[in-house]
Amino acid sequence: MDESERGAPQEPFRPPPSCVLSLDFQGLKTKLLTYLRAEDVGRVEAAYHFAADAHAGQFRVSGEPYVSHPVAVASLVADWHLDPQALIAALLHDVMEDTHIPKAEIAERFGKVSAELVDGLSKLDKIEFRSHEEAQAENFRKMLLAMASDLRVILIKLADRLHNMRTLGHMRPAKRRRIANETLEIYAPIANRLGLNDLYRELQELSFSNKYPLRYQVLAKAIRAARGNRREVVGKVSTAIQERLPQWGITAEVSGREKHLYGIYRKMVEKHLSFSQVLDIYGFRVIVGEVSSCYLALGALHSMYKPVPGKFKDYIAIPKANGYQSLHTTLIGPFGTPVEVQIRTREMHHIAEAGVASHWLYKEDEKTLTELQQKTHSWLQSLLELQSASGEATEFLEHVKIDLFPGEVYVFSPKGTIFSMPKGSTPVDFAYAVHTDIGNRCVACRINGDLMPLRSELNNGDQVEIITAAHANPNPAWLSYARTGKARAQIRHFMKNAQQDESVALGERLLNQALRPHGLTLGQISTFAWERFLRDRGVRHKKEIFSDLGLGKRLPAIIARRLAQAQDMESGRPDVVKPKPAGAITIRGSEGIAVQLARCCHPIPGDPIIGTLRKGQGLEVHTHDCPSVAKLRGDRGRWVDVEWEAGDDRLFDVGIRVLTRNARGVLARVASAIAEEDCNIQSVHMDNEQGAYTALNFTLQVRDRMHLARVMRAVRRVQEVVRIGRVKGDGRAV
């Protein structure tokens, strides 16, 4: 039961549900007999009586017996001609949650399939969550994953949400707004993704009227007033189309329609328009017999009224991800009024209105699935991939929300395969859409044959080729421009695993260093001591300890002392041992995520350095004189002795500031002096000083402190150079 609809039992004199609902269920029964066998209808009726008994004494906030809700949901499900198992689940969808009837009893009475559907629809009320948002995210995750294994779960849930939205008026305003917002963000996009167009539009309209009731009323009043003014235009266009099509040998059904309020409102907000500036509030639909007639009708319409450039879309040749097919065109009608027209066949119209529910039949053999069912199946499988790549439920929900919005960009692989991508997608998104391994190994791309940056935004019709390398890995910077949920989830998944591996390795080194003052090494800690230590702290494996140490969540000195005590108890060693120097941890400076060089002081090999443990971020290396670590000097547990590992194959960024006299070609001479010392220039910018001087700010790549010293000596030999210094984190040159 949606929490908005759960009401406390009311007065005891209420009539029993069976008396009040006999007409409602009789209507449902009549509907079911049109497509189900009598024995199947009998099973559904048994489920109704079971639900009525289970919900006896429960009432909705409106005062109606609660069982009216599951009957209404089952009636909506019956409109899609779903099977008896789904209808039984619709009638029982709140039984487990509200009446504490176990899943086993439902399975015994109505079969395992119906019980699984009910379980997928039930909330996780018995689990404690830190916040309402986390609880909602976990509920959505359970529902979506149940949907991935059986689409009927979401069809029943959408029917449940639609009936709740239709009866939302009895709730408090704050609760109505929250539920309406949730519907707009999750349920309406899911309905759209499944091609349930009528349901999608109604959920949007109901959400709009409950989230912004005053705006809805004002806009509805404006629409009513505009109907009279624009009736003449609509009549002229409709008559003209109905007369022109037969002249071209086309038999068609023509209907005019008023655009939905939420669509008009969204257009006003997105394009910053007033209502009077939104001219195309009416549209027309032309339904023909076959595909060829769609294009012939398009030609007929374009011969009548001029089309608006850039407003034609062919969703027949390239259907939307939810299977929607139509030709869309916008024409300049009488009096200069833009008119939108959709042209489709009857079959396309049926799919556009009912989506995947129009032929939802489940088939084991994937080869026999229709194109729409295959697309839906692929999307459902992508939910399972997002689940495995996402960590917390809130992260999973974030990724799903991204992918629920309809694709607007169609791009091609080098072999001509069409991929539908959300607007704003980049080659990184395309690489992960092709295959996760392609995304993880991506290093560059070609768009329409030209090498382009991976952050380039894709446009309709682009041909994209991904260049991969065997040892490449995802770049954290990709998260700033990756658009699709799959790409973002896989990048985060890789980064988490990489951080885990690096932090475990760093944690071992930190703990080994901290054990030396106790006269121990990590290899000398016995299995018994480890088990005792882990048991006392409720930790399953020592890798968790190493990971926490590497990420700065635990202090090495404290863990070392506890382990030493556990080892002493096991070995009977005296309490006083001869301490050994702790020694320094060697670093290369290129370890990656777990070890980072501080940006405030940019240490390079040869600089005296110190490491600080930052909670959740690992080891950060600073120069000894960095102001950022001065306050940590007194906290021995938060800093670590580190030293550079020998090596000359690495380059490090460092800043220098060069003050020169203004002269022609001075920048070129300074840059030449830097290059002669085998040093790369990453960037340079100039500050105009007072009078005759200019400050040149370089970011260089050097091997170590000695290399930097040679570069600075070479720059000093340039005649115009007045002063040179290394830039510190506070911007000073020293």
Distance from C-alpha of 421 to C-alpha of 430, rounded to nearest angstrom: 8
92 near 47, Cβ under 8 Å? Answer: yes
Q: Which of 38-42, 185-189, 245-249, 395-399 has the lowest mean pLDDT?
A: 395-399
pLDDT of residue 136: 62
Backbone angles phi, psi at 58, to 5 degrees: -100, 140
pLDDT of residue 292: 92
Which helix or strand (DSSP H or E) is residue 76 part of? Answer: helix 68-79
183 near 207, Cβ under 8 Å? Answer: yes
pTM over 0.75: no
pLDDT of residue 6: 44
- The residue-averaged pLDDT of 276-280 equals 70
Q: Which of 514, 502, 430, 492 is nearest to 466 (CA)?
A: 430
Predicted confidence band of residue 151 (pLDDT cuts 50, 70, 90): confident
- CB proximity list for 457: less than 8 A, separation 6 or greater: 424, 425, 426
Which helix or strand (DSSP H or E) is residue 153 part of? Answer: helix 152-166
- For residue 705, the 8-state DSSP code is H
261 near 268, Cβ under 8 Å? Answer: no
Q: Which of 446-455, 463-472, 513-522 has the lowest mean pLDDT?
A: 513-522
pLDDT at position 265 over 80:
yes
The overall average pLDDT reported for the chain is 78
Q: Which segments of the chain belong to CATH 1.10.3210.10?
A: 3-122+151-210
pLDDT tens string 561-597: 778 877 777 665 555 445 555 556 677 655 555 677 8
Q: Which of 588, 596, 593 is nearest to 497 (CA)?
A: 593
CATH T-level assignment (fold) for domain 3-122+151-210: Hypothetical protein af1432 (1.10.3210)
pLDDT of residue 360: 47
Task: Assign domain 652-726 one CATH number from 3.60.40.10, 3.40.50.300, 3.30.70.260, 1.50.10.20.
Answer: 3.30.70.260
pLDDT at position 255 over 70:
yes
Q: Which segments of the chain belong to CATH 3.10.20.30?
A: 371-391+400-486
Q: What share of the chain is helix, strand, coil (3-state, %, to 5)?
A: 55, 15, 30
Higher per-residue pLDDT: 25 or 446: 446
Distance from C-alpha of 132 to C-alpha of 129, rounded to nearest angstrom: 7
142 near 120, Cβ under 8 Å? Answer: yes
Q: Which residues are catalytic?
A: 97-98
3-state secondary structure 211-227: HCHHHHHHHHHHHHHHH
Distances (CA, A) of 687 to 146, 491, 683, 722: 61, 39, 14, 15
Structure token digits, residue 348 = 């396309």
CATH number belonging to domain 214-357 = 3.30.460.10
- Domain 371-391+400-486 in CATH 3.40.50.11540: no
Which DSSP string do the residues of 351-371 spell out, in sequence order? HHHHGGGGG----S-GGGS-H
- CB proximity list for 458: less than 8 A, separation 6 or greater: 409, 411, 421, 425, 426, 427, 429, 430, 447, 464
Task: Please compute, for residue 253, the number of CA atoms within 13 A of its CA located in the half-sphere on the CB side.
Answer: 9
pLDDT of residue 188: 86
Q: Which segments of the chain belong to CATH 3.30.460.10?
A: 214-357
Q: Which of 98, 101, 78, 81 is nearest to 90 (CA)?
A: 78
pLDDT tens string 391-443: 555 555 555 555 555 556 778 888 878 787 878 889 999 999 898 899 999 98
Distance from C-alpha of 232 to C-alpha of 15, rounded to nearest angstrom: 53
Higher per-residue pLDDT: 154 or 447: 447
pLDDT of residue 14: 38
Predicted confidence band of residue 150 (pLDDT cuts 50, 70, 90): confident
pLDDT at position 117 over 90:
no
- The residue-averaged pLDDT of 67-79 equals 91
- Helix (H) and strand (E) counts in the chain: 26, 19
Distances (CA, A) of 43 to 118, 167, 277, 502, 733: 16, 28, 55, 58, 84
- CB proximity list for 588: less than 8 A, separation 6 or greater: 644, 645, 647, 650
Structure token digits, residue 183 = 């519907």
Which DSSP string do the residues of 628-670 spell out, in sequence order? GGGGGTT-GGGEEEEEEPP-SS--EEEEEEEEEE--TTHHHHH
By CB atoms closer than 10 A (0-12, 13-18, 19+), residue 143 is buried
Q: Which segments of the chain belong to CATH 3.30.70.260?
A: 652-726
